[in-house]
Amino acid sequence: MSWLSWLLIVRPSSAPSLLLVGMLGSQLGLRVGLQVVQTVMCSQWGTPSSQGLSQDGDVVIGGLFSLNHQHSALNHDYTTLPHYKPCTGFALSPLKYIYAMVFAVEEINLNTALLPGVRLGYRIFDSCARHPWATQGALSMIAGESTSCNLTAHGSISDVYAEEMRVRRVPLSSSQPVPLVIGGASSQTGKILSKILEPISISYLATCPCLSDRRKYPNFFRTIPSDIYQARAMAQLAIHFHWTWIGAVVANNDYGHLAIQVFQEEVKGKGVCVAFIESINRETIVRDARQAALTIQASRAKVILIFCWYTDVEQLFLELARRNITDRQYLASEAWSTSNDLLQNVALSKVASGVVGVAVHSSAISGFESFLRGLHPSHRPHDELLRQFWEQEFGCSPGVTQSDNQSNISTSPPRLHHKGYLPPCIGTESLEGLQHVFTDTSQLRITYNVYLAVYAAAHALHRLLSCPDRDSPSKNNASTCSSPHNVSPLELLKHLNNVNFTTPQGERFYFQGADIPAKYDLVNWQKTPEGSLKLVLLGQVDGFDLHLNQSAIQWSTGSNQVPISVCTKSCPPGTRKARRKGEPVCCFDCIPCGDGEFSNKTGSLHCEQCPLEFWSNDKRTACIPRELDFLSFNETLGITLTTVAVCGAVVTTAVFVVFLCYSHTPMVRANNSELSFLLLVSLKLCFLCSLVFIGRPSVWSCRFQQAAFGISFVLCVSCLQVKTIVVLAAFRSARPGAEALIRWFGPSQQRGSVCLLTCVQIIICATWLSHSPPEPQRDLGFKGSKVTLECAMTSVVGFALVLGYIGLLACICLILAFLARKLPDNFNEAKLITFSMLIFCAVWVAFVPAYVSSPGKYTVAVEIFAILASSYGLLFCIFAPKCFIILLRPERNTKKHLMAK
Ligand SMILES: *[C@@H]1O[C@H](CO)[C@@H](O)[C@H](O)[C@H]1NC(C)=O
Ligand SMILES: *[C@@H]1O[C@H](CO)[C@@H](O)[C@H](O)[C@H]1NC(C)=O
Ligand SMILES: *[C@@H]1O[C@H](CO)[C@@H](O)[C@H](O)[C@H]1NC(C)=O
Ligand SMILES: *[C@@H]1O[C@H](CO)[C@@H](O)[C@H](O)[C@H]1NC(C)=O
Is 570 inside any structural domain? no
502 within ligand 2 shell (Cβ under 6 A): no
Is 415 inside any structural domain? no
500 within ligand 2 shell (Cβ under 6 A): yes
Q: Which ligand is nearest to the CA of 602?
A: 4
Residue 404: predicted pLDDT: 44
Q: How far is residue 416 from each of residues 168, 399, 419, 509, measured CA to CA in Å?
A: 11, 12, 9, 47
CA-closest candidate to residue 802, choices 719, 721, 681, 714? 714
Mean pLDDT calculated for residue range 542-568:
89
Number of domains in the chain: 4
Beta-ladder partners of 595: none
552 within ligand 3 shell (Cβ under 6 A): yes
Find the 500 Cα to ligand 2 centroid distance in Å.
Answer: 6
Q: Which residue puts its alpha carbon closest to atom 9 of ligand 2? A: 500
Percent of the chain residues past pLDDT 90, beyond the cut: 30
Taking residue 424's Cβ as centre, other Cβ atoms within 10 Å add up to 18
551 within ligand 3 shell (Cβ under 6 A): yes
Mean pLDDT calculated for residue range 843-872:
88
Is 320 inside any structural domain? yes
Instruction: Bin 311: left if φ > 0, else alpha if -120 < ψ < 50, else beta.
Output: alpha
Residue 626: predicted pLDDT: 85
Residue 241 dihedral angles phi and psi, to the nearest 5°: -95, 10
- Is 395 a residue whose pLDDT tops 80? yes
- Is 274 a residue whose pLDDT tops 90? yes
- Whether the CB-CB separation of 128 and 49 falls below 8 Å is answered with yes
Percent of the chain residues past pLDDT 70, beyond the cut: 82
75 within ligand 2 shell (Cβ under 6 A): no
CA-closest candidate to residue 684, choices 649, 650, 713? 649
CA–CA distance, 53 with 383 (Å, rounded to integer):
6
Residue 292: predicted pLDDT: 95
Q: Which ligand is nearest to the CA of 548?
A: 3
One domain for residues 203 and 323: no
**Per-residue pLDDT tens digits for 638-688:** 999 999 999 999 999 999 999 888 888 887 777 677 888 888 999 999 999
Pocket test for ligand 3, best of 522, 547, 548, 551 (most atoms within 8 A of CB): 551
* Three-class secondary structure of residue 749 per DSSP: helix
Q: How confident is the model at residue 860 (pLDDT cuts 50, 70, 90)?
A: confident
Comparison of pLDDT for 307 and 744, the residue scoring more:
307
Residue 381: predicted pLDDT: 84
Q: How far is residue 261 from each of residues 73, 211, 267, 646, measured CA to CA in Å?
A: 31, 17, 10, 82
Is 756 inside any structural domain? yes
Residue 127: predicted pLDDT: 83
**Per-residue pLDDT tens digits for 233-265:** 999 999 999 999 999 999 998 889 999 999 999
One domain for residues 188 and 277: no
Angle between helices 829-853 and 858-874 (to 10 degrees): 180
**211 DSSP 8-state letter:** G
CA-closest candidate to residue 710, choices 756, 762, 753? 762
One domain for residues 122 and 85: yes
First to last CA, the chain: 139
CATH code, domain carrying 532 = 3.40.50.2300
Q: How confident is the model at residue 325 (pLDDT cuts 50, 70, 90)?
A: very high
Find the 527 Cα to ligand 4 centroid distance in Å.
Answer: 43
**Per-residue pLDDT tens digits for 345-380:** 888 988 999 999 999 999 999 999 999 999 988 888
One domain for residues 216 and 181: yes
Residue 563 dihedral angles phi and psi, to the nearest 5°: -60, 150
- Is 47 a residue whose pLDDT tops 60? no
- Whether the CB-CB separation of 405 and 430 falls below 8 Å is answered with no
Residue 322: predicted pLDDT: 93
Is 397 inside any structural domain? no
Residue 540 dihedral angles phi and psi, to the nearest 5°: -140, 155
CA-closest candidate to residue 141, choices 120, 125, 127? 125
Nearest-5° angle of CA 88, CA 90, CA 92?
160
- The amino acid that residue 142 corresponds to is I
One domain for residues 761 and 892: yes
Q: Which ligand is nearest to the CA of 558?
A: 1
Mean pLDDT calculated for residue range 807-817:
88
Mean pLDDT score of the chain: 81
- Whether the CB-CB separation of 138 and 193 falls below 8 Å is answered with yes
549 within ligand 3 shell (Cβ under 6 A): yes
One domain for residues 15 and 92: yes
One domain for residues 275 and 323: yes
Q: Which residue puts its alpha carbon closest to atom 2 of ligand 2? A: 500
Residue 145: predicted pLDDT: 59
Q: Which residue puts its alpha carbon closest to atom 8 of ligand 2? A: 500
Pick the atom of ligand 2 nearest to 510's CA.
Answer: 13
- Is 19 a residue whose pLDDT tops 90? no
Find the 491 Cα to ligand 2 centroid distance in Å.
Answer: 21
Residue 173: predicted pLDDT: 45
One domain for residues 218 and 297: no
Q: Which residue puts its alpha carbon closest to atom 8 of ligand 3? A: 552
Is 144 inside any structural domain? yes
Is 127 inside any structural domain? yes
Beta-ladder partners of 509: 501
- The amino acid that residue 168 corresponds to is R
What are the residues whose beta carbons fall under 8 Å from the beta carbon of 853, sequence distance 6 or more? none
512 within ligand 2 shell (Cβ under 6 A): no
Residue 29: predicted pLDDT: 31
Pick the atom of ligand 2 nearest to 498's CA.
Answer: 14
- Whether the CB-CB separation of 637 and 631 falls below 8 Å is answered with yes
546 within ligand 3 shell (Cβ under 6 A): no
**Per-residue pLDDT tens digits for 128-169:** 877 778 888 888 888 875 544 333 333 333 343 444 444 334
Residue 280: predicted pLDDT: 93
CA–CA distance, 363 with 349 (Å, rounded to integer):
27
Residue 333: predicted pLDDT: 93
**Per-residue pLDDT tens digits for 461-505:** 998 888 654 454 444 444 456 788 888 888 889 899 999 999 998
Taking residue 489's Cβ as centre, other Cβ atoms within 10 Å add up to 18
Instruction: Bin 129: left if φ > 0, else alpha if -120 < ψ < 50, else beta.
Output: left
Pick the atom of ligand 3 nearest to 549's CA.
Answer: 1
Is 385 inside any structural domain? no
**What does the radius of gyration of the chain's CA atoms come to, in whole angstroms?**
54
One domain for residues 664 and 775: yes
One domain for residues 661 and 697: yes
Residue 71: predicted pLDDT: 53
498 within ligand 2 shell (Cβ under 6 A): no
Q: How far is residue 84 from each of residues 158, 167, 169, 666, measured CA to CA in Å?
A: 9, 16, 15, 149
Nearest-5° angle of CA 177, CA 182, CA 183?
120
Comparison of pLDDT for 70 and 748, the residue scoring more:
748
One domain for residues 165 and 258: no
**87 DSSP 8-state letter:** P
Q: How confident is the model at residue 836 (pLDDT cuts 50, 70, 90)?
A: confident
Q: How far is residue 720 from each of residues 726, 747, 801, 835, measured CA to CA in Å?
A: 10, 14, 20, 12
- Is 39 a residue whose pLDDT tops 90? no
Taking residue 652's Cβ as centre, other Cβ atoms within 10 Å add up to 25
Residue 749: predicted pLDDT: 83
* Three-class secondary structure of residue 223 per DSSP: coil
CA-closest candidate to residue 70, choices 53, 48, 50? 48
CA-closest candidate to residue 452, choices 213, 116, 191, 221? 221
- Is 403 a residue whose pLDDT tops 80? no
**876 DSSP 8-state letter:** I
**Per-residue pLDDT tens digits for 754-764:** 899 999 999 99
**Per-residue pLDDT tens digits for 697-727:** 888 888 888 888 889 989 998 988 888 888 7
- Is 38 a residue whose pLDDT tops 50? no
Residue 260: predicted pLDDT: 94
One domain for residues 736 and 787: yes
CA–CA distance, 873 with 879 (Å, rounded to integer):
10
CA-closest candidate to residue 401, choices 378, 373, 368, 431? 378
Pick the atom of ligand 2 nearest to 508's CA.
Answer: 1
* Domain range for 818: 636-899
Find the 327 Cα to ligand 1 centroid distance in Å.
Answer: 11
CA–CA distance, 398 with 378 (Å, rounded to integer):
8
Residue 484: predicted pLDDT: 82
Q: How far is residue 360 from each of residues 93, 105, 207, 355, 448, measured CA to CA in Å?
A: 14, 23, 11, 16, 9
Find the 325 Cα to ligand 1 centroid distance in Å.
Answer: 9
Find the 553 Cα to ligand 3 centroid distance in Å.
Answer: 9
510 within ligand 2 shell (Cβ under 6 A): yes
CA–CA distance, 576 with 597 (Å, rounded to integer):
11
Mean pLDDT calculated for residue range 430-454:
89
Q: What is the pTM of this model?
A: 0.65
**Per-residue pLDDT tens digits for 576-590:** 988 888 888 888 899
Residue 735: predicted pLDDT: 63
Find the 600 Cα to ligand 4 centroid distance in Å.
Answer: 6
Residue 17: predicted pLDDT: 29
CA–CA distance, 484 with 470 (Å, rounded to integer):
11
Q: How far is residue 702 from each of residues 292, 643, 787, measured CA to CA in Å?
A: 78, 21, 17
Q: Which ligand is nearest to the CA of 547?
A: 3
Beta-ladder partners of 790: 777
- Whether the CB-CB separation of 64 and 185 falls below 8 Å is answered with yes
297 within ligand 2 shell (Cβ under 6 A): no
CA–CA distance, 759 with 577 (Å, rounded to integer):
66
CA–CA distance, 28 with 44 (Å, rounded to integer):
24
Nearest-5° angle of CA 433, CA 436, CA 437?
145
Pocket test for ligand 3, best of 549, 553, 554, 559 (most atoms within 8 A of CB): 549
**Per-residue pLDDT tens digits for 104-127:** 999 999 999 998 889 999 999 888
CA–CA distance, 189 with 202 (Å, rounded to integer):
11
Q: Which residue puts its alpha carbon closest to atom 7 of ligand 3? A: 552
- Is 77 a residue whose pLDDT tops 50? yes
